[in-house]
Amino acid sequence: MAPDIMARIRWIFSRLVKSSYRYTPVPDDEAPQFRPHLVKERRKKAGYFCLGIALLLLLLYFAIPYGDLAKSLPGCERNGKCKPNPHRWGQYSPFFSVPSDIDSSIPEGCEVTFALVLSRHGSRNPTSPKSALYQELIEHIQSSVSHYGEGFEFLADYAYTIGNDDLTSYGEQQMVDSGAAFYKRYRKLTDDIDPFIRAAGSSRVIASAKNFTHGLYAARGSGGNRAEEDILIIPEIDNFNNSINHGSCSRFEDGPYSDLKHEKQTAWKEKWLPSITKRLNQKLPGANLTLTETVYFMDLCPFHSVADKNAKPSQFCSLFSEDEWRGYDYYESLDKWYGYGSGNPLGPTQGVGYVNEVIARLTGEPVKDHTSTNSTLDSSPETFPLDRRLYADFSHDNTMISIYAALGLYEGVPDLSVEHVVPADQAGGFSAAWVVPFAARMYLEKMQCGSNDKEYVRILINDRVVTPKCTADSHGRCELDSFIDSLSFAKSGGKWESCEV
């Protein structure tokens, strides 16, 4: 609880105590005394006391975070009165600064000489196939349910009006804010240097890159129209190598490991969801929802929320407890870990092309790679310059997970269990919400300190310092040579030969 709030509470109690207990001399006559002015004074004191209690309750209400309020109301899911926590919505969480064990500010006496941001697009509407499934679910509920349980009454008249695929207005603003944040953190560079910007070819990624650029240049106080026009767009099409959108390894996309994430999610779903599904079916008699439909029902919370221009939490969010949302975030984390990350034998390999491009940018040497990079683009100084000090790339969550793994960021974290939730702070900082929320961003910065000629590299994911495999100092930094040496997996091409089997 904030210190200023505690001070106000103490002040209220001190006033109450001071006004309620006042010394008066004992009367000489022990006979009962009736003094009208004292009755009036007591009534006045009682009024002050009631007012003080009311103010205290208000202060406590606004002082306690949403998560703590939800915990203070056990059974809130039974009447739809739970307090939403957007940090539990997996990859559909809006961006938030993740708590860091290491101070993420630039160390005193150090100067950033190079900065790269790899960003996910901002908050979006559901993909077209998912949107169709959500609409079917609502129509099914409304056609089969005649009585809605407490908290679910709004569904009787609910109309599904969420769009498809593209950024929401909130998602657009997220990216404007992200561009401004990049400018602010690296102002000594961004005041004078233009970043080289690339975007994967889907409309929401391109729009995100443009909004980021607008935010950066607006913060700088200059127009960014030319910069938006110069964004390099890499198509997301078959048979076109693209280091910021996976798809070049057919065995990863369609081979034996492509179903691994579904197997793990199914195992967790069968442990986590039955009791929730049972409650929903009791609240919605006649709906007979399946476990999968329960997941879709929960999906409506984040998507309906980010469809609001201010991301106001939807009524759907209040139907589930904090613990149930913790299970939901974990369900999505299993998808990322076993689908695209270290839990998939070919997951990290999908990110090696990008990592080899990072090495080239850090060293100023040509890209050495035979995996997902586009050799035509990467061999040209127009489409892959090596002399810039600011870079910005825009991609998707799944590809970013593979890039994190290729960088070795979560190496050493045991495979996520399907028997119980492994909290992010016990999984090296890994969860879907912590690493790839909407508008997620990875900063990779190079710096020098004082008169020391050594160069250091540090990585932040959503403002949390994440240490790579190399030996890091107390600031989470590695010396440049040590950092590059730690990327041997990427430099050797990962397991790309398995893609060609």
Same domain assignment for residues 90 and 52: no
Report if residue 71 sits inside a domain. Answer: no
**Measured distance CA(334)–CA(354) in Å, rounded:** 23
Same domain assignment for residues 86 and 55: no
Report if residue 68 sits inside a domain. Answer: no
| Span 350-403, pLDDT tens digits | 999 999 999 999 999 999 999 999 999 999 999 999 999 999 999 999 999 999
pLDDT at 223: 78
Q: What is the CATH number of the domain that holds 107?
A: 3.40.50.1240
Report if residue 49 sits inside a domain. Answer: yes
Catalytic residue among 121, 304, 396, 475: 121
Report if residue 212 sits inside a domain. Answer: yes
**Measured distance CA(64)–CA(251) in Å, rounded:** 50
Same domain assignment for residues 53 and 190: no
Report if residue 18 sits inside a domain. Answer: yes
Report if residue 208 sits inside a domain. Answer: yes
Same domain assignment for residues 225 and 335: yes
Local confidence band at 451 (pLDDT 50, 70, 90 cut-offs): confident
CA of residue 50 relative to chain centroid, distance: 42
Same domain assignment for residues 388 and 493: yes
Domain range for 45: 3-22+34-63
pLDDT (average), residues 43-64: 48
Helix (H, G, I), strand (E, B) or coil at 153: helix
Annotated catalytic residue 475: no
Nearest C-alpha neighbor of 347 from the set 299, 400, 284, 412: 400
pLDDT (average), residues 161-180: 98
Helix (H, G, I), strand (E, B) or coil at 437: coil
On the CB side of 61, how many CA atoms lie within 13 Å of its CA?
A: 6
pLDDT at 225: 80
pLDDT (average), residues 452-480: 96
**Measured distance CA(99)–CA(78) in Å, rounded:** 31
pLDDT at 22: 38
On average, the pLDDT of the chain sits at: 89
Cβ 277 vs Cβ 294: under 8 Å = yes
Beta strands at 441-449 and 390-395: parallel, antiparallel or unpaired: unpaired
**Any long-range contacts for 320-326 (C-beta under 8 Å, 24+ apart)?**
320/77, 320/82, 320/276, 321/70, 321/76, 321/77, 321/82, 322/67, 322/70, 322/71, 322/82, 322/83, 322/85, 322/88, 324/77, 324/276, 324/298, 325/85, 325/88, 325/89, 325/298, 326/88, 326/421
Report if residue 466 sits inside a domain. Answer: yes
Which stretches of 190-323 are assigned E, i.e. beta strand? 196-200, 232-234
Number of domains the chain contains: 2
Same domain assignment for residues 284 and 341: yes
Same domain assignment for residues 58 and 173: no
pLDDT at 48: 52
pLDDT > 90 in the chain, percent: 82
Report if residue 365 sits inside a domain. Answer: yes
**Measured distance CA(436)–CA(264) in Å, rounded:** 19
pLDDT (average), residues 43-55: 51
Same domain assignment for residues 258 and 229: yes
pLDDT at 52: 52
**Measured distance CA(19)–CA(318) in Å, rounded:** 42
Amino acid type, 196: F
Same domain assignment for residues 93 and 51: no
Same domain assignment for residues 16 and 86: no
Annotated catalytic residue 121: yes
Catalytic residue among 194, 329, 397, 475: 397
| Span 272-326, pLDDT tens digits | 999 999 999 999 999 999 999 999 999 999 999 999 999 999 999 999 999 999 9
Same domain assignment for residues 264 and 163: yes
**Measured distance CA(459)–CA(462) in Å, rounded:** 10
Same domain assignment for residues 354 and 413: yes
pLDDT > 70 in the chain, percent: 85
